[in-house]
Amino acid sequence: MELIMFYLPCGSNEEASAIIRSLLDQKLIACGNIMPSYSIYMWHDALSEDKECIAIIKTLPELLEKVQQKILILHSYDTPAILYWTAKCNQQYYDWLKQTCKVP
């Protein structure tokens, strides 16, 4: 059983939570986790360091494009890192995903 997992850095816990809640309300995802993070990166040719929150989001492969589109609308960053990969899961979790998400 395969699912899609997103790794999404956000500017705050509130932003990560708002994105996850919106996607849940639209039944595009089944679950999201938020973890604190400290990021060091290059931005406009300068070294930047910021506290961020990472949203880990789980959905079905059929909803990949819709989730990406909604994240782009909801995210505050000019260039959000919307990273995703396919993962395997147990049957019970997959069944829960299918019941929770709304595939058109």
pTM: 0.94
Tokens of 32: 């999201």
Taking every pair of C-alpha atoms in the chain, what is the biggest distance, in angstroms?
Answer: 47
CA distance 89 to 91: 7
Please write the tens of the pLDDT for every residue from 47-73.
999 999 999 999 999 999 999 999 999
pLDDT for the residue numbered 104:
82
- For tokens 């890192």, name the residue: 81
CA distance 57 to 83: 10
Beta-bridged to residue 8, according to DSSP, are: 55
Please write the tens of the pLDDT for every residue from 17-54.
999 999 999 999 999 999 999 999 999 999 999 999 99
What residue ranges do the domains of the chain occupy? 2-100
CA distance 8 to 99: 24
CA distance 10 to 52: 6
Cα dihedral sign, 75-53-20-88: positive
Instruction: Identify the architecture of domain 2-100 in CATH.
Output: 2-Layer Sandwich (3.30)
